[in-house]
């Protein structure tokens, strides 16, 4: 079936002499045309029925998500006492998981916004599901602080910054309120950016659908797109504006999250290195999650021509670079614990290394600092199976990092008489594992009903989309 948007795409490509439509053979396999790219990507959405592997994965994800629904229901009935939080450790799994999930979502914004502004062609194959990953991760992250407040039906009322006659505004000097603004802004811009990028592909899916109801549903979400020059011009303006808004959010969101710790006086938290250290760790774990998702998706749907080894290697290199920044942060923490000559800071770092949670500290060093050094070797960066294992190791290490930061400082604070150990209960684990199920369940829905790769962007980098030079150009 011929693609009705092909002429518009060709003229769109020719309209960018800056190199937007140049061919990059290492980011798309040979032999592809406009039609073959559209057929390949749209077939995953428009095929009748469900693939057996997709159906099995969807059912498993839903079963795991049911664990989350059970844990949250019991939490609302009994209260936060079912969690493992105690007097010194008022922050437990809820804040650990909140910071971890926010970090997971960072790579999607970096890939979609910053790399778009820098005209990086290798982002095109992975930006769509990386953006979806960002949205789903932020949804999972928002769950934890909402329920950590104890009574979410009241917390939303007290946290929302509206003017009122009783003077009950939130405490704007609290970084927890800053989180509300930062995360909500991040989520809003991410959803808008993702949806605007979907519109041309939703129109293509609408035009290719055979079922009248499917055609109407995609037509509603395509917002009347026809591929005209005016539509493309407005689309590009909107995309660049949203990319410009999203780019500072990559740095600001996790910086604000780090302020939850950095503006306090607790040893191990009160550090100026936390903002860049947290941002680097977020991009580190985010790219690890993109690899965790891209590798099995690439294999199952046969997308080796679209997600090539260049994409895999570039993501591995970003992981290596940000991983080195994270290791530098660990080194600075240890050095300043000694060099500051502050007895509380010295005790904090020695407690992390040799205290009750020593095994978690050294395991995170192994996961985040030692194992990723294998990425220096090209044989490792081109070994897809090994990279998948490494990405899982990094995500495990980044969760341990957040646990060590939160728990070791709180469990041994300034008052020895209140010292206590912390361990998550089965309800803590069920809530956390359940959000993994929620994340995966949403991802399966995305893969089935939304084009997972941007069709129109991929069509700009095949040989038939070369830029035509104007007459007289050299």
Q: Residue 34: how many CB atoms within 10 A of its CB?
A: 22
Terminal Cα-to-Cα distance of the chain (whole angstroms): 38
What's the pLDDT score for residue 474? 42
What's the pLDDT score for residue 168? 63
What's the pLDDT score for residue 465? 55
CA distances from residue 210 to 1, 48, 215, 329 in whole angstroms, order as listed? 11, 10, 7, 55
Dihedral angle of Cα 270, 271, 275, 276, to the nearest 10 degrees: -160
Cβ-Cβ contacts under 8 Å for 71 (sequence gap 6 or more): 427, 430, 431, 434
What pLDDT tens digit does each residue of the chain (474 aa) get? 444 444 344 333 333 333 333 344 577 877 777 888 888 888 889 888 888 999 999 999 999 999 999 999 999 898 888 999 988 898 889 999 999 999 998 878 888 788 888 777 888 888 888 899 999 999 999 999 888 877 777 766 776 666 666 666 667 778 888 888 888 899 999 999 999 999 999 999 999 998 899 999 999 999 999 989 999 999 999 988 988 888 888 888 989 999 999 998 888 898 889 999 999 999 999 999 999 999 999 999 988 888 888 889 999 999 999 999 999 999 999 998 889 888 888 999 999 999 899 999 999 999 999 999 999 999 999 999 999 999 999 999 999 999 999 999 999 888 888 888 998 899 999 999 999 999 999 999 999 999 998 888 888 877 655 544 444 444
By CB atoms closer than 10 A (0-12, 13-18, 19+), residue 392 is middle
Give the DSSP letter of residue 30. T
* Spatial distance between the Cα atoms of 229 and 15, rounded to a whole number of angstroms: 10
CA distances from residue 226 to 84, 199, 222 in whole angstroms, order as listed? 55, 10, 9
Segment holding 259, helix H or strand E = helix 229-262
What's the pLDDT score for residue 161? 64
* Spatial distance between the Cα atoms of 411 and 469, rounded to a whole number of angstroms: 67
CA distances from residue 67 to 72, 232, 315 in whole angstroms, order as listed? 9, 44, 32
What six digits make up the tokens of 63? Answer: 């079963």
Least Cα distance to 455 among 28, 31, 131 occurs for 28
What's the pLDDT score for residue 329? 92
Least Cα distance to 286 among 176, 407, 132, 183 occurs for 132
Cβ-Cβ contacts under 8 Å for 148 (sequence gap 6 or more): 80, 91, 94, 95, 98
What's the pLDDT score for residue 154? 75
What's the pLDDT score for residue 110? 80
Cβ distance 26 to 308 under 8 Å? yes
Cβ distance 467 to 22 under 8 Å? yes
Least Cα distance to 283 among 233, 323, 245, 244 occurs for 323
What's the pLDDT score for residue 165? 61
Segment holding 137, helix H or strand E = helix 127-148
* Spatial distance between the Cα atoms of 219 and 205, rounded to a whole number of angstroms: 9
Q: For the stretch 350-377, what's the b/e string if a residue is b when 16 or more beta carbons lie within 10 angstroms of its beta carbon?
A: ebbeeeebeebbbebbebbbebbebbee
What's the pLDDT score for residue 366? 95
CA distances from residue 299 to 124, 137, 292 in whole angstroms, order as listed? 18, 23, 12
């Amino acid at each position: 079936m011929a693609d009705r948007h092909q002429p518009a795409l060709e003229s769109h490509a020719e309209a960018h002499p800056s190199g937007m439509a140049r061919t990059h053979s290492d980011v798309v396999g040979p032999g592809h045309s406009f039609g073959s790219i559209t057929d390949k990507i749209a077939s995953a959405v428009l095929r009748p029925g469900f693939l057996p592997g997709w159906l099995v994965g969807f059912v498993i994800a839903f079963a795991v998500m049911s664990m989350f629904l059970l844990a949250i229901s019991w939490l609302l009935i009994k209260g936060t006492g079912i969690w493992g939080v105690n007097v010194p450790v008022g922050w437990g799994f809820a804040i650990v998981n909140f910071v971890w999930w926010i970090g997971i979502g960072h790579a999607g914004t970096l890939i979609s916004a910053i790399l778009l502004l820098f005209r990086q062609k290798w982002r095109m194959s992975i930006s769509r599901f990386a953006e979806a990953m960002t949205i789903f991760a932020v949804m999972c992250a928002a769950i934890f602080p909402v329920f950590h407040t104890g009574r979410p039906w009241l917390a939303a009322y007290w946290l929302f910054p509206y003017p009122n006659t009783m003077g009950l505004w939130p405490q704007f000097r609290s970084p927890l309120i800053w989180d509300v603004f930062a995360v909500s802004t991040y989520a809003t811009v991410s959803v808008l950016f993702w949806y605007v990028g979907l519109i041309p592909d939703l129109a293509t899916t609408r035009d290719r659908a055979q079922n009248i109801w499917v055609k109407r549903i995609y037509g509603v979400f395509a917002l009347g797109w026809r591929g005209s020059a005016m539509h493309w011009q407005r689309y590009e303006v909107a995309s660049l504006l949203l990319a410009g808004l999203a780019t500072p959010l990559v740095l600001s969101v996790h910086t604000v999250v780090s302020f939850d710790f950095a503006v306090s006086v607790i040893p191990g938290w009160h550090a100026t290195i936390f903002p860049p250290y947290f941002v680097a760790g977020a991009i580190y774990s985010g790219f690890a999650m993109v690899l965790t998702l891209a590798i099995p998706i690439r294999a199952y749907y046969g997308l080796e021509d679209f997600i090539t080894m260049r994409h895999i290697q570039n993501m591995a290199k970003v992981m290596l670079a940000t991983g080195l920044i994270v290791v530098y942060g660990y080194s600075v923490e240890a050095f300043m614990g000694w060099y500051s000559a502050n007895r509380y800071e010295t005790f904090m770092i020695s407690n992390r290394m040799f205290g009750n949670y020593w095994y978690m500290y050294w395991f995170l060093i192994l996961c985040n600092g030692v194992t990723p050094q294998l990425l220096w070797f090209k044989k490792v960066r081109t070994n897809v199976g090994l990279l998948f294992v490494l990405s899982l190791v990094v995500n495990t290490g980044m969760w341990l990092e957040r646990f060590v930061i939160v728990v070791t400082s709180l469990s041994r604070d300034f008052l020895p008489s209140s010292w206590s150990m912390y361990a998550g209960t089965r309800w803590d684990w069920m809530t956390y594992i359940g959000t993994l199920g929620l994340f995966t369940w949403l991802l399966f829905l995305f893969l089935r009903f939304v084009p997972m790769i941007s069709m129109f962007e991929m069509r700009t980098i095949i040989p038939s989309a070369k830029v035509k030079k104007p007459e007289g150009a050299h």
